[in-house]
Chain A
Amino acid sequence: MLKVAHTICPSCSVGCGVNLIIKDQEAVGTYPYKRHPINEGKNCKKGRDSYQILNENRLRDPLLKKGGLEQVSWEDALETTVSQLKSHKNHEIGIIASGNCTNEEYETLKKFAATLGVENIGYNAKNIPAFNFETATLDDVENSDFILIIGDVLKENPLLGRRVILAKEGGAEIITADFPDKTLTGINSDEYMQIESISAFLDNINRKVLETPEQSSTVIISGLSGEEFENVLKFFQDSHAKLLPVMEECNSRGAMNILPALNENELKDLLKKVKLLYVVGDDPASYMEESLKNIEFLITQNFFINETVLMSDVVLPGSCWAEKSGSFTNTTGETQKFNQIMLPPENARDDVTILMELAEKMGLEL
């Protein structure tokens, strides 16, 4: 049995459409999704390889730490989770998600935390603070007369890069600023500015070009985080140009609409405050293993094995994107729904369902 089915690529924040080729319930490849308005059947290597995410290092059964991690029934795993959640005070419980969950999962987590009275909740924002203004669309990029790019979008987000190329073919002027002496975006721009620091760049830039009202200008901000990101945003926000910050993960933009955006310091602070940590989709062990030592009980809900899973007391196997229905909000703020097109492996379950079952067993009404 062979099926070609539409989905949204989870590899970056552009939100390209991609078709998965599914043979006998296994994802075996991708097929161009030419009807998709964002990328018209064009995908980068990561996008075309995205089917492999469904097949690699998957969690197939609930696990409990009994010395090592052992396979258990859902009932046992959920019961242990519930009794641990119940035996901790609300302020001792922390919940962190990643930028790769669906909007529906964020909503469920938010309700779950609110009903339980948990305030220590957020998602790993990869040091990009939440913002709330209308950003440039991909069509805005393509129809620009002038584009200023910070970062290497042609290489890192090729299907956003394509819109820059189309703008250039339409006569737009492209200026790129970045740290290396040469970048792919740089060699395809009218002007490349190698910069030493963001502050020096902002000090020297002639903003006039962005303040010509008859010209449509776009500023694309990629590869920056923390203070640098905030400074660039502040600098251009009152210009005439439309801004497009490029997120790292496929649903960071959706997450920031629903959950608090936590930077690395805030995540570390959260871990200092709580004794029980519930992780959905994120891998805190990869960037703050030291802080995790403070945690007495670690619960992980994820679809694949990562460092945090291996340290966990309970592991709840969730679903990979194509195995569930939901939506992602891309870096331009567009929310795109996708449907379940295959089943999760063995005993893995839909993530919203897992949270709802937990809530029910806790006696919470979401």
Chain B
Amino acid sequence: MESQFLLAKAKDEELAEKGECGGAVSALFKYLLDQQLVDGVLTLTRGDDVYDGIPTLVENSEDIVETCGSLHCAPTMFGDLISKHLNDIRLAVSVKPCDAMAIKELEKRHQINPDAIYKIGLNCGGTVMPITARKMIEMFYDVDPADVVAEEIDKGKFIIELADGTHKSVEIDELEEKGFGRRSNCQRCELKIPRNADLACGNWGAEPGWTFIEVVTEKGKNLVENARQNGYIEVKTPSEKAIAIREKIESVMIKLARKFQDKYLEEDYPAPENWDEYWNRCIKCYACRDVCPLCFCKECDLEKDFYADENEIAPDPLTFQGVRLSHMCFSCVNCGQCEDVCPMEIPLARIFHRMQKKYRDDTGFIAGVSEELPPLYSPEKE
């Protein structure tokens, strides 16, 4: 269907107050739970502080209010959490673009049932690793990270709010030049508005107190319409100017992402001898494989006898990372999880993202976005 734009906010006063941008997303979740259209909502709740986002399954609509607010220092992944542990219920889930990409690939590969899931997309300019965020707040903001009560990313700045209501902000460019700021895969990410979800929601172009929603699918359209009719949200049409602002923000961010792609995947891409050094560290812990949302074979080739080598200190990169790369790089959605969890600090997402880009250039297949499966995909393992 053709995309539709609208502005929405929660009718419930508490959700409108506590939720981000008028609480429209929270209100949609509440509607889905109240009407028993889903059994649970998977979203993030705040743990110990603003740097601690914990995936939470909400089954009771009264608890939705606890999930309100966005967390930029929570680089989570929902794709495999759903395919491995939540495939037995009807679910609504709030998704960053990378979550939506992973879910889309998993749907195509019959690991997630598309009929049993509502995907409420959240626009995303990128996430920051929690400990990196704490360090940079100490260094660049001269603030005790424990004193931060809220954070947001707006107009190219990472903004923090302190308990007394004061705000401090630093340009993200400046943070990233010094090796802080967003995760490097986020810096390279071109999908800022998750048009691969049912709805794409955010504050870009929205007036204060309202959520800008791009309705992407029929399912999303019906959800918004029914939530409105049942008194959960109110909606209005955004101005031409609002739509233009949103488009502008998106295109600026995509341009910036392409610059980062050139930087990380070409100009500063590790030389072969650097890769040798990285592979030498590998402890063959399989963390990269196991965290990859799209790597789901029950029997993994990497554990087959013919690859086993009793005497190896570090695995042969050709038969370990090479095999992983040959199996998975076409499908890489650049979520960065492999790199995040590598105990040995091997910049894995770089090589996978670089290969996916080359594959994309040759075949037109964009993992997580294209409707079809990658050419040469084998359904044997499903």
Contacts and interface: CB of A to CB of B under 8 A. Distances in A.
Interface size class, chain B: 35 or more
Majority secondary structure, A binding face: mixed
Contacts of B189: none
A169 B290 CA distance: 26
Residue in A2, A23, A34, A42 whose Cβ sees the most chain B Cβ within 10 Å: A34
A42 B54 contact: no
Given A4-B55, A34-B75, A184-B314, A42 B340 contact: yes
B320 to A, nearest CB: 14
B54 A154 contact: no
B281 A188 contact: yes
Interface string B65-105: 00000000111000001001110000000000000000000
Interface in A127-176: 154-155, 158-159, 161-162, 165-166, 169
Interface stretch (B25-33, B44-52, B225-233): B44-52
Interface string A317-335: 0000000000000000000
Count chain B CB atoms within 10 A of each CB in A31, A35, A44 and give the residue with the most: A35
B283 A28 contact: no
Given A154-B283, A182-B313, A187-B314, A23 B345 contact: no
A162 B343 CA distance: 6
A3 B57 contact: yes
B129 A34 contact: yes
A21 B344 contact: no
A40 interface: yes
B341 interface: yes
Contacts of B49: 35
A1 B57 contact: yes
A45 B340 contact: no
Interface string B115-137: 00000000000000111001000
Contacts of A32: 291, 337, 340-341
Given A35-B51, A35-B131, A187-B280, A159 B59 contact: no
Contacts of B134: 37
A126 interface: no
A12 to B, nearest CB: 12
A131 B282 CA distance: 33
A6 interface: yes
A29 B85 contact: yes
A5 B56 CA distance: 9
A219 to B, nearest CB: 21
Given A21-B85, A162-B345, A187 B286 contact: no
B287 interface: yes
B342 interface: yes
A34 B51 CA distance: 9
Given A4-B56, A6-B47, A40 B130 contact: yes
B83 to A, nearest CB: 12
B287 A48 contact: yes
Contacts of B280: 187-188
B131 A154 contact: no
Interface in A1-44: 1-6, 19, 21, 23, 28-29, 31-32, 34-35, 37, 39-44
B376 interface: no
A183 interface: yes
Given A3-B57, A169-B345, A35 B84 contact: no
Contacts of B297: none
Nearest to A186: B313
Contacts of A23: 85
B86 A154 contact: no
Given A2-B57, A34-B130, A45-B287, A184 B313 contact: yes
B283 A158 contact: yes
A35 B130 contact: yes
A159 B345 contact: no
Contact of A1 (B51, B55, B59, B290): B59
A183 B290 contact: no
Pick from B74, B75, B287 the residue with the most CB of A within 10 Å.
B287
Interface of A: 1-6, 19, 21, 23, 28-29, 31-32, 34-35, 37, 39-45, 48, 154-155, 158-159, 161-162, 165-166, 169, 182-184, 187-188
Given A3-B56, A184-B314, 8 more contacts: A32-B341, A35-B131, A39-B343, A40-B129, A44-B343, A165-B344, A166-B345, A184-B283
20 contacts: A2-B57, A4-B81, A6-B54, A32-B341, A34-B75, A35-B49, A35-B73, A37-B131, A43-B287, A43-B341, A44-B283, A45-B285, A158-B344, A162-B344, A162-B345, A166-B345, A183-B313, A184-B314, A187-B313, A188-B280
